[in-house]
Amino acid sequence: MPVLSNVSFQINEGEFIGIIGPNGGGKTTLLKLILGFIQPTQGTVKIFKNARQIAYVPQSTKFDREFPISVIEVVLSGLLSRLPWYGFFNQADHQKALEALEKVSLTQFKNHSFGQLSGGQAQRVLIARAIVDRPHLLLLDEPTAGVDNQAEADIYAILKSMQGSMTILMVTHDLNAAINQVERLLCVQGAVFSLKPEEVCEHYAMGLYHDPLLQIKQSNFR
């Protein structure tokens, strides 16, 4: 059974979009397609007329907590495309990394080990890494998974503060929170269709992506 099929959607510049859907629906596949990690078997993905100024925030839980890397080194890795052949970042790059850390309120942790941070702090460091080079499109893969309520509120506050300055696509299972934050939702369940936050059925928040309602919404969208 194919993952996704005739998917067609557009995202406007500066939008804050949540991507929802049941497990196995194709959310990760959609992210990987946008990131260019996999190629579509048919059709094309066009972003900024093919200019790929994309940043990605993975889940912090996938990282090896014993890896010896400092917070500032993680953030600087968001500037690798600017790294000269001799392999040293210049003063301006370090300044950009510090500014990005300031935006996520973690400047005081710049020399700490990434593995020593809490889940919420680690996620904010990954957001700093993603925004350090001022991307046009920011993709986030469940940024609040496995963090406590306060860390979740901090992460949403950071994303809200960036709203409008870049286009944000956030995969999330946390539907209750997401409908309060995002402007539009893309529901991925084989195909992709768009919903306004107020159209989201309360059953979705319980993980029940029931077919009849999805079909109604899908027909409305078309």
Partner 1 sequence: MPSFIEALSMNPLLFAALLGGWAASIVSGIIGSYVVVKRIVFIAGSISHSVLSGIGLCIWLERTQGVTWASPLYGALAAAVGSALIIGWMHLKYRQREDSVIAALWSIGMAIGVLFISQTPGFNVELTNFLIGNILWVSTTDLYILGGLDIAIILLVACLHKRFLAICFDEEQARLQGLNVNALYILLLILIAISIVLLIQVVGIILVMTMLTIPAAIANLVTKSLSLMMVVAIAISSSFCLMGNWLAYYLDWPTGATIALFAGIVYVASLFFANRRKKPILKSIE
Site of interaction with partner 1 (CB under 8 A): 35, 37, 54-56, 58, 63-64, 66-70, 73-74, 76-81, 83, 85-89, 112-113, 115-116, 129
Choice between 70 and 107, CB closer to partner 1: 70
Which amino acid belongs to residue 105?
Answer: S
Phi, psi dihedral angles at 214 (to 5 degrees): -60, -40
Shortest distance, CB of residue 118 to partner 1, whole angstroms?
9
Choice between 74 and 187, CB closer to partner 1: 74
Q: Is 141 helix (H, G, I), strand (E, B) or coil?
A: strand
Q: What share of the chain is helix, strand, coil (3-state, %, to 5)?
A: 45, 15, 40
Choice between 9 and 63, CB closer to partner 1: 63
How far is CA 135 from each of CA 18, 68, 107, 160, 168, rounded to the nearest angstrom? Answer: 18, 27, 21, 16, 10
Shortest distance, CB of residue 86 to partner 1, whole angstroms?
6
Shortest distance, CB of residue 98 to partner 1, whole angstroms?
17
Choice between 83 and 201, CB closer to partner 1: 83
Shortest distance, CB of residue 67 to partner 1, whole angstroms?
6
